[in-house]
């Protein structure tokens, strides 16, 4: 993976969107994307899944190395839900992340300081909801459609959107027990 440049660009204005993940996969290229996003959505900072991945996508976008098929979903779907958990806007967080040298933990701390600190129970609910998204819920049809598009519909281990993302980006199946 190309190293992220320290000088940042301004991300395009992001619009408010609904919480529906129904079209999240439809904007992605049906070919496997180059695995430039090194972190799994299962990675945690402050105990919260997905936040690190969202911040990484912000950095890759600013460095102009995020694949184009990811760009239409920036600030939408899981990104929007994650920012909502903290009560901050995607645009404000992206501006903070753009600052040189900010770590994932510093971005997380900023979100808490400028929004809300989720409770332990709130984090548990968030994590369980997101880690199971696509498994027997309204996002299941989108997940099945995406798995078929990438030729992974016969991989029964891909039961959630997180599993599909990891599979598509070449990471091994996540073991929730450890």
Lowest-confidence region among 16-30, 43-57, 149-163: 16-30
Domain match, 162 and 82 both: no
Q: Are residues 124 and 59 in the same domain?
A: yes
Verify that 89 and 57 share a domain, yes or no: yes
Same domain? For 125 and 43 the reply is yes
Are residues 54 and 88 located together in one domain of the fold?
yes
Helix (H) or strand (E) holding 158: none
Q: Which of 70-79, 132-141, 148-157 has the lowest mean pLDDT?
A: 148-157
What is the percent of the chain where pLDDT is above 90?
47
Any domain includes 49: yes
Nearest to 113 by CA among 96, 127, 130: 96
The predicted pLDDT at position 22 comes to 43
Do both 113 and 74 map to the same domain?
Answer: yes
Mean pLDDT across the stretch 110-114?
A: 96
d(CA 174, CA 12): 33
Indicate if 123 and 141 belong to the same structural domain. Answer: no
Do residues 51 and 110 share a domain? yes
Domain encompassing residue 109: 39-131
160 in a domain, yes or no? yes
If asked whether residues 102 and 125 sit together in one domain, one would say yes
Residue 46 lies in a domain: yes
> pLDDT digit string (tens) for 2-44?
333 322 222 333 333 333 444 444 444 434 445 468 899 999 9
pTM exceeds 0.75:
yes
Binned at pLDDT 50, 70 and 90, residue 173 comes out as confident
On whether both 61 and 139 belong to a single domain, the answer is no
Mean pLDDT of 142-162: 85
In angstroms, the first-to-last Cα distance of the chain is 27
> Could you tell me if 57 and 105 lie in one domain?
yes
Q: Does residue 28 belong to any structural domain of this protein?
A: no
Which helix (H) or strand (E) covers residue 65, if one does?
none
- The pLDDT assigned to 67 comes to 85
Q: Which residue has the higher pLDDT, 34 or 45?
A: 45
Query: Per-residue pLDDT averaged across 78-82, rounded?
Result: 94
């Amino acid at each position: 993976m190309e190293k992220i440049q320290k000088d940042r660009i301004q991300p395009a204005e992001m619009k408010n969107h609904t919480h529906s993940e129904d079209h999240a996969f439809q904007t992605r290229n049906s070919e496997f994307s180059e695995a430039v996003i090194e972190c799994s959505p299962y990675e945690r900072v402050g105990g919260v899944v997905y936040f690190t991945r969202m911040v990484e996508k912000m950095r890759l976008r600013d460095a102009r190395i995020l694949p184009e098929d990811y760009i239409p979903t920036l600030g939408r779907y899981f990104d929007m839900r994650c920012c909502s958990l903290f009560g901050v806007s995607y645009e404000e967080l992206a501006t903070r992340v753009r600052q040189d040298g900010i770590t994932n933990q510093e971005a997380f701390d900023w979100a808490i300081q400028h929004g809300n600190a989720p409770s332990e129970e709130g984090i548990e609910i968030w994590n369980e909801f997101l880690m199971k998204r696509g498994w027997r819920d309204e996002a299941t049809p989108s997940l099945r459609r995406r798995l078929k598009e990438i030729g992974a519909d016969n991989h029964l281990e891909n039961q959630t959107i997180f599993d599909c993302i990891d599979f598509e980006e070449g990471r091994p199946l996540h073991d929730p027990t450890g």
